[in-house]
């Protein structure tokens, strides 16, 4: 077919545009082969804005990994043994999030920003040096709540422009919500100081 778009309709269906010029599609794919997943249908301004947003999420996840790792190693006492395992589990899951986000940034044709000098300033979460078990749990719960709100805002910003990044952030959001619930449960069993 020579037409770029052909309108297809059906009973009860809304008008939908379908790509029908397969030769043009194939030609563009061959000409731009080294751009990987980045195609002309993804506007550069959107792609760059989303990559920048993902770099903020990456910094947040890395700071969370460091905070959870510190809490894992800094816990003391019999009550802390169980909680420290939760800190380690969360640290490992946050590291997996960071890896997924970094991989997506690369798919978008950008570089993940792992500069240690700027990680904390780009992160939505804060690092924490609490020395009590309750203080650590509270700091982690606050960070999870910040992450939950931040991811919701990022998901809304991305909207339909990048379904892959949106789905990635939605899956991370679901796990951050689980972390928050875990921390609430743990906090209920730790006496106030």
The answer to which of 18-32, 95-109, 115-129, 137-151 has the lowest mean pLDDT is 18-32
Domain count, the chain: 2
pLDDT of 169 strictly over 60: yes
Mean pLDDT on 132-147:
96
Query: Both 22 and 116 in a single domain?
Result: no
The pLDDT > 90 percentage for the chain reads 69
Query: Both 19 and 50 in a single domain?
Result: no
Query: Both 175 and 94 in a single domain?
Result: yes
Query: Both 72 and 122 in a single domain?
Result: yes
pLDDT of 5 strictly over 90: no
Query: Both 22 and 65 in a single domain?
Result: no
Query: Both 106 and 19 in a single domain?
Result: no
Q: Which domain holds residue 11?
A: 5-31
pLDDT at 28: 78
pLDDT at 32: 77
Mean pLDDT on 114-128:
94
Give a yes or no: residue 39 inside a domain: no
Give a yes or no: residue 193 inside a domain: no
DSSP state letter for 14: P
Under 8 Å between Cβ of 67 and 98: no
pLDDT tens for 69-103 read 999 999 988 778 889 999 999 999 999 999 999 99
pLDDT of 57 strictly over 70: yes
Mean pLDDT on 142-159:
97
Query: Both 20 and 85 in a single domain?
Result: no
Give a yes or no: residue 37 inside a domain: no
pLDDT of 109 strictly over 70: yes
Mean pLDDT on 138-155:
97
Query: Both 150 and 176 in a single domain?
Result: yes
Give a yes or no: residue 120 inside a domain: yes
Mean pLDDT on 125-154:
95
Mean pLDDT of the chain: 87
pLDDT of 170 strictly over 90: yes
| CATH number of the domain encompassing residue 176 | 1.20.1260.10
pTM of the full predicted structure? 0.82
Cα dihedral: 70, 150, 148, 165 (round 10): -100
Query: Both 106 and 151 in a single domain?
Result: yes
Closest C-alpha to 58, from 188, 186, 147, 153: 147
pLDDT of 65 strictly over 90: yes
Closest C-alpha to 132, from 170, 184, 187: 187
User: Phi-psi category of 12—alpha, beta or left, where left has phi over 0 and alpha has psi -120 to 50?
Assistant: left
Query: Both 23 and 103 in a single domain?
Result: no
């Amino acid at each position: 077919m020579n037409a770029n778009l052909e309108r297809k309709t059906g009973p009860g269906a809304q008008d939908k545009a379908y790509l029908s010029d397969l030769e043009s599609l194939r030609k563009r794919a061959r000409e731009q082969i080294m751009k990987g997943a980045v195609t002309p249908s993804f506007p550069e301004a959107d792609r760059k804005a989303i990559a920048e947003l993902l770099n903020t999420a990456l910094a947040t996840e890395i700071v969370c990994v460091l905070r959870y790792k510190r809490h894992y190693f800094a816990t003391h006492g019999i009550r802390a043994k169980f909680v420290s395992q939760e800190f380690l589990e969360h640290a490992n899951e946050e590291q997996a999030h960071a890896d997924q986000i970094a991989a997506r940034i690369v798919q978008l044709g950008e570089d993940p920003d792992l500069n240690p000098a700027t990680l904390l300033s780009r992160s939505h979460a804060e690092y924490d040096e609490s020395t009590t078990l309750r203080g650590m749990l509270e700091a982690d719960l606050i960070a999870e709540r910040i992450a939950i709100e931040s991811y919701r805002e990022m998901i809304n910003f991305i909207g339909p422009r990048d379904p892959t990044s949106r789905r990635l952030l939605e899956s991370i959001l679901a796990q951050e919500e689980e972390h928050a619930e875990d921390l609430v449960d743990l906090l209920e069993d730790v006496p106030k100081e």
